[in-house]
Amino acid sequence: MPKRILIIYTGGTIGMKQTVNGLAPAADLMAEITQLIELGPAFHENPPQLQTLSYEPLIDSSDMTPEIWLKIAADIEMRYDDYDGFVVLHGTDTLAYTSSALCYFLRRHGKPVVLTGAQLPFGFPRSDARSNLISAIEVAATMPVSMAQVCVVFGSRIMRGNRVTKISANAYDAFDSPRFPLLGSIGIDIQFFSSLHTRAPEHPDLDVRLQLPEDNAVALLRLHPGISASMFRAVCASPGLRALVLEAYGSGNGPTRDPQFLDAVRQAVASGVMVVVVSQPLDGVVTFERYASGSGLAGVGAISGRDLTTEAAISKLYFLLASGASASSF
C-alpha cells in the first residue's frame, strides 16, 4: 500500500522567486510540487501518495519564531494519524533550530518527520531544490519504523534533527551532524545505517499546545577573550530573561581566573536564570570535569549541555520553559 506523505511548505529559498528587493518566498512552489505528485514514476517503486499544506504567509526562515515552531508541531499532531510521514520545507538559515524544536515539541515520534530546503530555488540552474525534495519524500516513505524520528535530509546526508547544524552558505551539503553519527546517506540509493535504529519515546501525555514564555526569555552569549562580568550581567539584566545558552571554549571551559565573571554566573543562577553551557567547536562536547576552567562554571551552578548544539540547547530551553519544567529537567 502506498505511503501517505504530507508536505508542509513554510517558505524559504527552496520556493523563492526574484523580486525588486531580492529573493522572497513565493507560492509558486506548490505548482512544482503538484507536477512532482503527477510524476509518480520519478520514485523508484510504489510511489507515495503526496498531499500538501502551504502556510500563509510564507516566510523567510530568518523570520522564524518559537510560535511558528509550535504551529508546525500542532499541524503535524492534528494530522498525525492520517499520514505515514511528514516533510517540512524550510529555509536553511534557521532550519536546524526548527528541526531541534520539533524533536522536543512533538509528543509523538513513531513516524518520520523530515525537514529539508535548498541552497538555490526551483528553476535556478543547478538548483538542489528538486533533488532535496525527492530525497526527503523518499526518506519519509522508507525510513525504518525502528528509527523513525525528526531528521534533516540535505544533499547526501540524513541527520538527527537535534544534532544538526548549518556549516556552509554555498555547498550543497550545507548541513552536518558533527556531534552525532549520520542516520544515513543519499547517493544512487538511500542507505540507512542499521546501527542507529533508535528513536525518541512517545510522550502522549504532553500537550503540544504549550504556553510559550514571553519575548527575551532565552538569550545566547558566546565567550571570547576580553569578555567581562559586566557584559554577562548586562545580558542577564534583560527583562523577562529566564535562560541563557553560554557558548564556552572546548569542553565547557570559561574564564575561571576572573572571580567577578564567576560571581556574575552564580548571581544569575541564584536569580532563577538557567545557564546552559555548550561547546563552541562544531565537534565539541561539554565535559566540565576535564579542566579546572570547566569545573569552575559547574561550581557556580551552570548546567552542562553535553553534546547539544547551540540550536538544540535554545529550542530545548524554550520547550522546558513552555512546559513549566525546572532546571533539573535539562
The verdict on residue 325 lying in a domain is: yes
Nine-digit cell string for 77: 499532531
Comparing 24-28, 145-149, 229-233, which segment has the lowest mean pLDDT?
Answer: 24-28
Confirm if 63 and 56 have CB atoms less than 8 A apart: no
Higher pLDDT, 122 or 206: 122
Q: What is the residue whose three cell numbers read 562544531?
A: 282
The verdict on residue 211 lying in a domain is: no
196, 230, 261 - which closes a domain? 196
Answer yes or no: is pLDDT of 149 > 60: yes
How many residues does the structure list for the chain? 330
Q: Do 135 and 93 belong together in one domain?
A: yes
Q: What is the residue whose three cell numbers read 530546503?
A: 117
Q: Do 233 and 182 belong together in one domain?
A: no
Q: Do 98 and 59 belong together in one domain?
A: yes
135, 161, 196 - which closes a domain? 196
Q: Do 139 and 55 belong together in one domain?
A: yes
Q: What is the pLDDT of residue 96?
A: 98
Q: Do 134 and 260 belong together in one domain?
A: no
Q: Do 123 and 155 belong together in one domain?
A: yes
Q: Do 45 and 186 belong together in one domain?
A: yes
Confirm if 267 and 235 have CB atoms less than 8 A apart: no
| pLDDT (tens digit per residue) in 315-325 | 999 999 999 88
Long-range contacts of 257-261 (CB under 8 A, 24+ apart): 257/293, 258/228, 258/229, 260/228, 260/229, 261/227, 261/228, 261/229, 261/232
Q: What is the pTM of this model?
A: 0.93
Q: Which residues pair with 86 in a beta bridge?
A: 6, 113
The pLDDT of 171-182, averaged and rounded, is 97
Confirm if 210 and 70 have CB atoms less than 8 A apart: yes
Answer yes or no: is pLDDT of 35 > 90: no
Comparing 28-37, 172-181, 262-271, which segment has the lowest mean pLDDT?
Answer: 28-37
Answer yes or no: is pLDDT of 148 > 70: yes
Answer yes or no: is pLDDT of 166 > 50: yes
How far is the CA of 88 from the CAs of 10, 54, 137, 231, 314, in angstroms?
7, 10, 10, 38, 20
User: The CATH number of the domain where 274 resides is what?
Assistant: 3.40.50.40
For residue 13, indicate whether it is catalytic.
yes
Tell me which residue range forms the domain holding 275: 218-329
Nine-digit cell string for 71: 504551529
The verdict on residue 212 lying in a domain is: no
Higher pLDDT, 311 or 293: 311
Q: Do 151 and 231 belong together in one domain?
A: no
Q: Do 100 and 64 belong together in one domain?
A: yes
Domain count of the fold of the chain: 2
Reported as a pLDDT band with limits 50, 70 and 90, residue 98 is: very high
Q: How far apart are CA 252 and CA 11, in angstroms?
A: 36
The verdict on residue 204 lying in a domain is: no
Reported as a pLDDT band with limits 50, 70 and 90, residue 223 is: very high
The verdict on residue 124 lying in a domain is: yes
Q: Do 177 and 266 belong together in one domain?
A: no
Which among 10, 13, 92, 310 is annotated as catalytic? 13
Q: Do 169 and 96 belong together in one domain?
A: yes
The verdict on residue 209 lying in a domain is: no
The verdict on residue 139 lying in a domain is: yes
196, 229, 252 - which closes a domain? 196
Q: Do 241 and 135 belong together in one domain?
A: no
User: The CATH number of the domain where 52 resides is what?
Assistant: 3.40.50.1170
Comparing 181-195, 218-232, 260-274, which segment has the lowest mean pLDDT?
Answer: 181-195
Reported as a pLDDT band with limits 50, 70 and 90, residue 200 is: low
The verdict on residue 236 lying in a domain is: yes
Reported as a pLDDT band with limits 50, 70 and 90, residue 208 is: very low
Answer yes or no: is pLDDT of 291 > 50: yes
Answer yes or no: is pLDDT of 255 > 60: yes
Pick from 17, 128, 11, 103: nearest CA to 61: 11
